[in-house]
Structure 1
Amino acid sequence: MATETFLLELGVEELPPAAIDMLSDALAKGIADGLNEAEVPFGGVRAFATPRRLAVRIEQLADKQPDREVERRGPALAAAFKDGEPTKAAQGFARSCGIGVEELIHLETPKGTWLGYREQQPGDSIDVLLPAIVAEAVDQLPVPKYMRWGDSRIEFSRPVHWLVMLHGSRVIEAQVLGLDASRTTFGHRFHAPQAIELVHADDYLAALEEAYVLADRDRRRERIREQVLREAERAGAEAVIDEDLLVEVSGLVEWPVALTGSFDERFLEVPPECLISSMKANQKYFHLLDDQGRLKPLFITIANIESHDPRQVIEGNERVIRPRLADAAFFYDTDRRQPLAAREADLASVVFQRQLGTLADKARRSAVTARFIAERIEGAPDHSERAARLAKCDLSTEMVLEFPELQGIMGYYYARQDGEPEEVAQALYEQYLPRFAGDEIPQGKTGQALALADRLDTLIGIFGIGARPTGAKDPFALRRASIGVLNILIKAELDLDLRELLTLAAAQHDNLPQANGLVDEVLNYMLDRFRAWTQDEGIPVEVYLAVRARPVTRPLDFARRIRAVHDFSQHDEASALVAANKRVANILAKQGDERALRIDASLLQEAAEQELAKAVEARRIETAPLFQEARYTEALDVLTGLRVPVDRFFDEVMVMSDDPGIRANRLALLASLQSLFLEVADIAELQ
């Protein structure tokens, strides 16, 4: 069985940059899945893509399926012969196999002996298999939006123009999307538009690079990164390379060339975030900072050609960016003509959610909760209430309407200009933190109070109208809101009771249709998010389950318990104590209320139970202040000392004594032992 490199390339008109990676990866996976299903051996798979092509290269693809032994089972032996002669059933089976009855074999099975037939079936060649595999992979691509072109009935993301299918140096004859496969590809649209005849599939990347095309996505991105950093160094500046922008820009070019342009310094009077958003969103430019971290009046653009006169390309980009930045300056000047607080009235006409009222209603509700939180965390209640009132006012500004990603940021700038307290202004920016996993949390207490109040209002409101998130749908980002609340409470070490906060938030809503049991439902939903938080911390999920088994409603306390139980699980004594707790839990569950209310020392007959009773009482006294101060790690360290008396107790004492009084007393001792660990978690849940 011979192997060669397989190459597929589909030539298209410029694809949407956001779809290129998704389409190329899906194409590679689809072909690999098809080959696996056909049991054709192959090696490594690589996806390549540019705006004008989707390609897949597969190393060491065999030229055919392996031959297979096929076994067929016919009638049972008892039904195959009668009086030593083959029956019609045996004869018919033999004819279907193309042989005589005497050539059939006997197949032994657990259910008896059967007539059978085995034959070697030659594998199909890839010339037969690949056309259907590739066509199926292309048909299953997650194309965002289909289009037709000309008078063709064929549909794809963009018009298709050529198809390459090579196995080594051989063309695989196939037709996909109306195109006949060949060995002909094309280079850069402007630098090398002529046809390129590929001699061998291994020539692909090198041949395209000679024709000004970098088909390797990763290499093209790194080329852009290197060029941007080099241009920044020449300008004596620091380039800010946003990874999402880097991916998008690499999807716009086949032969990247970085060029540095400039804009009028007067635009630097506008907040830098406005200019950066305009440059990134509209022109896909990388911005530059000086050594103080301030925006410089420079940008780096990525051209798709090597121009003989780069200055013309730069000047063209400078002409394009000028009106964009002028628009940003105009929006900024227009917004500043009225104070941010004057826009509070606008919120009454903006619907937050039909059943939950307007943004003005949301601001009113959040203000009460934010003030309460600020009082509990020794913040500034007046500032927190003020920040909640102003939090959504920037949504009606021209700048945020043009660049929605600037919400909160513009509120910060406009509040500062209006002379609002710095803490209030900062809170307007921090209200959306954390935005994603690993993002920073609000640093100011006013920002923390606002960020918590806003999310809690949303959670209670959306659950209260029955719009709970499902496995696939979470349109109000309630999972992210919940995790945001947990992160703020834990990282800022705010020891607040989540039930109390949710109860207050619910009290601010009028006539929620599903108010019954609402606080408990939202509380449980939020605490369930600790499962993902635990996994992100690298802690086994059973540690979460052990803590979740207890009625803990303070997230900071929950996190401390998780870390303590995780540390405890690493002790040598943990395994034995976990097993003992499981045994105790099972015994107590079976006996119900049979145990005594308290331990009677006079009924402790065996030395092992006397020793355990003393050890439990001593540990209770020692751990009481530790539990009171939430020093759970230290408390569990103390409890590890119970391993020896616990093991001895189970080795030497019969819990289920025939004497009811002694039995009830021993059950009380086990309950006392269990209750010590339950101060932290149900460690019986640990593996």
Structure 2
Amino acid sequence: MSKYLLEIGTEELPAKFSYSVLKQFKSLIEFELDKKLIKFEHIVVTSTPRRIVLLLEGLVDYAEDKIIERKGPKANSAYLNGCPTNAALGFANSLDIDVGELEIKNTEKGDFVFGKKIEKGLSTKISLSSIIPKLVKSLQGPRFMKWGAGNIKFSRPIRWIASIYNDEILDFEFDECDPKIKIGNKSKSHRLINKVLEVQNPDDFFELLKENRVIGIRKERKEKIESLINQASKSLNLKPDLSEGLLNELTDLVEWPDLIIGKFSDEFLDLPVEVLSTVMKSHQRYVPLLLKNKSFSKLDLSSEKNISTTFCVISNGLEESNNNIAKGNEKVLRARFSDAKFFVESDKKVASIERNQKLKSVSYLKGLGNIFQRVERIEEVTKKILKFLNDKSLEEKKIIEAAKYCKNDLCSEIVFEFPELQGIMGGKYLKYEGFSEDVCLAVAEHYLPSFYKDALPSSKYGAIVSIADKVETLISIFISGKRPTGSSDPYALRRNLNGVIKIIWDYELNLPLDKLFNELIDFWKIAFPNLNFSRETVFNDLNQFLVQRIVSHLEEISLSKELIKAVCSPDELSQKKVLNIVDLKNRIKSIMNFKEKENFVEIQKVITRVSKLANNSNLSTDVFSTKDYVDTKLFEKDCELKVFEFIGELEKLFSEGYCNYLELLNLFEININTIEDLFDNEKGVLIMSEDLKIRNNRLNLLSLIRNYSLKIADFTLLNS
């Protein structure tokens, strides 16, 4: 078994590309080797800021032989009286096989002669020499560049390529770079050591890099960074504010991680912790250290209770330079914090109501006015939501006030400099001005959730303003004709609607979105008489989009495909029920609880049998009363009367307009034998009676049972 090493040496790669290229590179090489029938035991694809590395182990020296079956002439042309003709001999000769190896096979067009040709597997070295250059040129990423006079495009200029098969250089053509690259066995050390390394064998490669301050295995580098930060934090009795995203970025910024501890002045603890953290993490790639066991408020304008003045820097420098690196980073951080402090102090001098007025000068979408007008629409949406919810526990005045000021910080200096702090700073400034905590927190959290698995607003006030903000965006974009198509979603409408669904789902808000859309489209029609759009088309598109996102939400919370299909079946009645998110959640919970019962399979089978027979009836799925549809005078046996009485119990259950779905399922469980008796050879009846009136009467009985079962799910689609 052989080994192959490929190292593509470059100028410093962008951290995101250095990470994202690994999966892409791995899938491409696996696809190409599989296509060439080249087997291997293990593959390693890794990267550092200056190199992308491929290591193949347990590699066969030759690809597997390929058996190719070819179709030849018709059998009656190939053989005459059992002897091969010139046609058979010529066909065998073309395949380089003996005529006796030909076979006759029957096809749709008659009997034909077939022959098998064995194509010998190519040398792995020859295959790799053609695969590798094609693969490198096919890698993709953002903002690829050309350099020099060459034609090749890559994330950053390629400076060297090492290609080693066992202990030999595996050469290949790669002539499009400028300056021209010679394929060899030379690698390079850490940039600050600046040594050329000779790689004798793939086995020695990663150890050779380590000896020259390069940890080539990305996973190992990541674990070392995490360990360094955790050890330092523990020794200081602090907690690192280290997200997975920041850890990944640090991993792809250094080849030999070294930890440096820095400090900033206490004077900057007057700034909000989010400002300090954003500057350190997003702008400088430092790791803030938080105080342990301290209460945290999103509305605090100072951070002395939350964060330490000590922070961590992951350096790619030499150890002897650590003191200078620490001083340099502290100096940079002081300048950034000083700017932030100036912005916050300037913002404090301006009232939120003044900033709100400035929103009139900030454009929104073409034809939809400015941000101030958008805020007015958010207020209107909020009022509509409150009307539908009719929740007496909420103070409407506070929620409308939160909606009014939710965008006030868009005209603040701190948000202009740090856009990721919008909403958060708005809530803090309102708190500083003396607004109620409910209003301030609602403003601070109204952008939540901003991505899948993000936290939700912590109060109903924030939840309602968040829904209003997202719904306003949704309707404005749909009305302007810029709805998502395919994978394109420039206004993040899918993410917005996902957030609305998640809030309603978790808070169990009885908010009929289809009815809300209906009223709001009328409001937009009045507000924008010059906008040319079809009210009916927009409404239908919004509802269709909503159903798609609800189904997507169910998939994201890991419900089975069968259950999703059963509760979201494509008929019109089911689609309308899907739009009621709280009702949908209750139906799903009831089914999942009921599935735990031992006799669920039996119940599901009986309802499925009933539903399939009911398809022979003309009774609509929206009929739930026996009146005018079932004639008791046509009953021939007691089992029919008992089923009729069972349907009466179902009618009574739904007569008050509210249904406990577990009660519905319990009724089915109690009466399952009653339904089964209909099909019993002795007690039962023949559903498809020759008497048309009796047949329709019995089918209507079954249809009513089916219709009530459809109130919770389509049992024919449930996988028992």
Instruction: Tell me the TM-score range normalised by the shorter chain.
Output: over 0.9
- Residue correspondence of structure 1 range 666-681 to structure 2 within 5 A: 666-681=698-713
Q: Does 1:387 align with 2:416?
A: no
Pair 1:72–1:590, CA change in 2 (3 A): closer
**How much does 1:204 deviate?**
1.8
- Residue correspondence of structure 1 range 122-161 to structure 2 within 5 A: 122-161=120-159
In structure 1, distance between residues paired with 2:546 and 2:619: 33
Q: Which amino acid aligns with 2:189?
A: G
Pair 1:610–1:83, CA change in 2 (3 A): closer
Q: Does 1:523 align with 2:514?
A: no
Higher mean Cα deviation, 135-144 or 117-126? 117-126
In structure 1, distance between residues paired with 2:367 and 2:465: 22
Pair 1:198–1:89, CA change in 2 (3 A): same
- Residue correspondence of structure 1 range 198-213 to structure 2 within 5 A: 198-213=199-214
For 2:448, the equivalent position in structure 1 comes to 433
Q: Does 1:230 align with 2:242?
A: no
In structure 2, distance between residues paired with 1:164 and 1:309: 31
For 1:107, the equivalent position in structure 2 comes to 103
For 2:301, the equivalent position in structure 1 comes to none
**How much does 1:84 deviate?**
9.2
Partner deviation per Cα, 1:296-333 (whole Å, 9 max, x = no partner): 11211111123225222211111111111111111111
Pair 1:619–1:11, CA change in 2 (3 A): same
In structure 2, distance between residues paired with 1:154 and 1:672: 69
For 1:592, the equivalent position in structure 2 comes to 618
Matched pairs, number:
680
Q: Which amino acid aligns with 1:24?
A: L
**How much does 1:202 deviate?**
1.8
Pair 1:637–1:179, CA change in 2 (3 A): farther
Q: Which amino acid aligns with 2:630?
A: I
**How much does 1:63 deviate?**
0.7
Q: Does 1:462 align with 2:477?
A: yes
For 1:64, the equivalent position in structure 2 comes to 62
For 2:666, the equivalent position in structure 1 comes to 637
For 1:252, the equivalent position in structure 2 comes to 253
Partner deviation per Cα, 1:173-209 (whole Å, 9 max, x = no partner): 2233553332221221113x22222222122222211
Q: Partner of 2:383: helix, strand, or coil? A: helix
Q: 1:605 aligns with which of 596, 613, 636?
A: 636
In structure 2, distance between residues paired with 1:630 and 1:493: 16
Whether the 8 Å CA contact 2:276–2:337 is kept in 1: the answer is yes
Structure 2: unaligned runs, 5 residues or longer: 296-305, 621-625
Whether the 8 Å CA contact 1:384–1:450 is kept in 2: the answer is yes
Q: 2:185 aligns with which of 183, 186, 196?
A: 183
- Residue correspondence of structure 1 range 385-464 to structure 2 within 5 A: 385-464=400-479
**How much does 1:281 deviate?**
2.2
For 1:477, the equivalent position in structure 2 comes to 492
Q: Partner of 2:326: helix, strand, or coil? A: helix
Pair 1:612–1:225, CA change in 2 (3 A): same
Q: Which amino acid aligns with 1:658?
A: E
Higher mean Cα deviation, 472-481 or 581-590? 581-590
For 2:690, the equivalent position in structure 1 comes to 658
In structure 2, distance between residues paired with 1:70 and 1:476: 52
In structure 1, distance between residues paired with 2:62 and 2:611: 61
Q: Which amino acid aligns with 1:214?
A: I
Whether the 8 Å CA contact 1:461–1:506 is kept in 2: the answer is no
What TM-score, normalized to structure 1?
Answer: 0.93
Q: Does 1:568 align with 2:599?
A: no
Q: Partner of 1:395: helix, strand, or coil? A: helix
In structure 1, distance between residues paired with 2:114 and 2:715: 58
In structure 1, distance between residues paired with 2:514 and 2:158: 58
Partner deviation per Cα, 1:508-560 (whole Å, 9 max, x = no partner): 31335132243343133213322122223332233233333433243112211
Q: Which amino acid aligns with 1:478?
A: L
Q: Which amino acid aligns with 1:521?
A: D
Q: Partner of 1:377: helix, strand, or coil? A: coil
Pair 1:630–1:257, CA change in 2 (3 A): farther
In structure 2, distance between residues paired with 1:154 and 1:471: 31
For 2:298, the equivalent position in structure 1 comes to none
Higher mean Cα deviation, 350-359 or 82-91? 82-91
Q: Does 1:277 align with 2:297?
A: no
Q: Does 1:305 align with 2:317?
A: yes
Pair 1:265–1:642, CA change in 2 (3 A): same
In structure 1, distance between residues paired with 2:507 and 2:276: 32
Pair 1:31–1:615, CA change in 2 (3 A): same
Higher mean Cα deviation, 388-397 or 612-621? 612-621
Whether the 8 Å CA contact 1:497–1:554 is kept in 2: the answer is yes
For 2:581, the equivalent position in structure 1 comes to 555
Q: Partner of 1:650: helix, strand, or coil? A: coil
Pair 1:231–1:129, CA change in 2 (3 A): same
Pair 1:262–1:673, CA change in 2 (3 A): same
Cα RMSD, aligned residues only: 2.5
Q: Partner of 1:383: helix, strand, or coil? A: helix
- Residue correspondence of structure 1 range 494-509 to structure 2 within 5 A: 494-509=509-524
In structure 2, distance between residues paired with 1:25 and 1:472: 21
Q: Partner of 2:510: helix, strand, or coil? A: coil
Whether the 8 Å CA contact 1:290–1:296 is kept in 2: the answer is yes
For 1:337, the equivalent position in structure 2 comes to 349
In structure 2, distance between residues paired with 1:390 and 1:452: 15
Q: Partner of 1:590: helix, strand, or coil? A: coil
Q: Which amino acid aligns with 2:307?
A: L
In structure 1, distance between residues paired with 2:698 and 2:402: 59
**How much does 1:598 deviate?**
4.2
Q: Which amino acid aligns with 1:65?
A: A
Whether the 8 Å CA contact 1:105–1:115 is kept in 2: the answer is no
In structure 1, distance between residues paired with 2:71 and 2:45: 43
Q: Partner of 2:317: helix, strand, or coil? A: coil
Q: Partner of 1:288: helix, strand, or coil? A: strand
Q: Partner of 1:508: helix, strand, or coil? A: helix
Pair 1:32–1:440, CA change in 2 (3 A): same
In structure 2, distance between residues paired with 1:656 and 1:116: 55
In structure 1, distance between residues paired with 2:689 and 2:90: 74
Q: 1:323 aligns with which of 335, 338, 360?
A: 335
For 1:377, the equivalent position in structure 2 comes to 391
**How much does 1:91 deviate?**
5.9
Q: Partner of 1:399: helix, strand, or coil? A: helix
For 2:557, the equivalent position in structure 1 comes to 537
For 2:364, the equivalent position in structure 1 comes to 352
What TM-score, normalized to structure 2?
Answer: 0.89
